[in-house]
């Protein structure tokens, strides 16, 4: 599932792909404003059978580092 999503994001010309906080993760920046006027970054990561999909919305530019940190905090909270 993770590999398919990461490959899809890599081929999508409407987003900017980036490596996530772990080897088993990837992310994208959405620079276009959504219907509420926000940009966003997403990170999808796995650890064993655990899946974390973190989305960080921003009123300015997408905040990739904040999204990576959010995903890492979530992984640490549920998997140590």
Average pLDDT of span 31-51: 91
Phi-psi domain of 19 (left: phi exceeds 0; alpha: psi -120 through 50; beta: other): beta
Higher pLDDT residue, 35 or 21?
35
Q: Is the pLDDT of residue 80 over 70?
A: no
Alpha carbon distance 60, 28 (integer Å): 16
Tens-place pLDDT, residues 8-20: 999 999 999 988 7
Rounded mean pLDDT of the chain?
89
Q: Are strands 25-30 and 39-47 parallel, antiparallel or unpaired?
A: antiparallel
């Amino acid at each position: 599932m993770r590999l398919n999503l990461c490959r899809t994001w890599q081929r999508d010309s409407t987003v900017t792909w980036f490596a996530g906080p772990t080897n088993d993760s990837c992310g994208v920046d959405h620079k276009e404003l959504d219907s509420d006027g926000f940009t966003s970054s997403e990170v999808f990561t796995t650890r064993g059978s655990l899946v974390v999909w973190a989305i960080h919305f921003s009123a300015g530019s997408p905040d990739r580092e904040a999204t990576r940190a959010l995903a890492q905090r979530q992984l640490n909270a549920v998997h140590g």
